[in-house]
Chains A and B, each alone.
Chain A
Amino acid sequence: GESVGLHLPTLSVQEGDNSIINCAYSNSASDYFIWYKQESGKGPQFIIDIRSNMDKRQGQRVTVLLNKTVKHLSLQIAATQPGDSAVYFCAERLPSGSARQLTFGSGTQLTVLP
């Protein structure tokens, strides 16, 4: 079946640098994409989302880019801080009408180096 995947399982960046976490999706019918952050010992937390009719959305220090042509989603974190160290998941929503709406990727572990 179709699924959401990630290019790299781990990413290390220097504190203060920008981070880019990538995600590939395969279902062109997905109408909504979400990024979650999971810190060690905690459940995933919502970061930012984007609808399929947009190609960019900005939040506080984070930007999500959507390229529907190549079915690619990315999360950019500006001026990465130690508190950004976590596993980041992308998720896609299929407009199935079911309560079960999100499919999650396997996650990228971001490590911020001092």
Chain B
Amino acid sequence: DVKVTQSSRYLVKRTGEKVFLECVQDMDHENMFWYRQDPGLGLRLIYFSYDVKMKEKGDIPEGYSVSREKKERFSLILESASTNQTSMYLCASSQSPVGYTFGSGTRLTVV
């Protein structure tokens, strides 16, 4: 089975800190995605990548950046964390159009 691993399950960071969320997939998938999940709002796409060093903005990219230096790894960066970025962050990868595999999520709290 494809595995998508997010490095942290829970994180607590201070306002203004630079935060790195890491995601690794083990099946050589081309596409990787970062979503945030908030109650009542569902999954909202932050950024996605369709190849190494390639990225595209999703619906809510403000305050975030991403890095994909290797095919298996897709990092989400909060340049200066704010309390409104407290959320569940989900990473996903896919090869086929609908074969999304999600990680278990990182619950980030910014205080």
User: Which A residues contact B (CB, under 8 angstroms)?
Assistant: 9, 32, 34, 36, 41-46, 49, 89, 93, 98-102, 104-107
B48-A99 in contact (CB<8A): yes
List CB contacts (< 8 Å) of B13-44 with chain A: 30-31, 33, 35, 40-43
Contact code string B88-111 (vs A, CB < 8 Å = 1, else 0): 001010100111111111000000
A104-B103 in contact (CB<8A): no
A42-B98 in contact (CB<8A): no
Residue of B nearest to A106 (CB): B42
Number of B residues, CB within 8 Å of A? 27
Q: What are 25 sample pairs from A and B whose C-beta atoms fall under 8 A apart?
A: A34-B98, A43-B92, A43-B102, A43-B104, A44-B43, A44-B100, A45-B102, A46-B98, A46-B101, A49-B98, A89-B43, A93-B97, A98-B56, A99-B30, A99-B49, A99-B50, A99-B56, A99-B94, A100-B33, A100-B58, A101-B97, A104-B35, A104-B42, A105-B42, A107-B42
Interface of B is mostly: strand
B45 is an interface residue with CB less than 8 A from chain A: yes
Residue of A nearest to B44 (CB): A104
B90-A100 in contact (CB<8A): no
B81 is an interface residue with CB less than 8 A from chain A: no
Residue of A nearest to B50 (CB): A99
List residues of chain A with CB within 8 A of the CB of B48. 99-100
The CA of A71 and the CA of B94, in the complex, are separated in Å by: 26
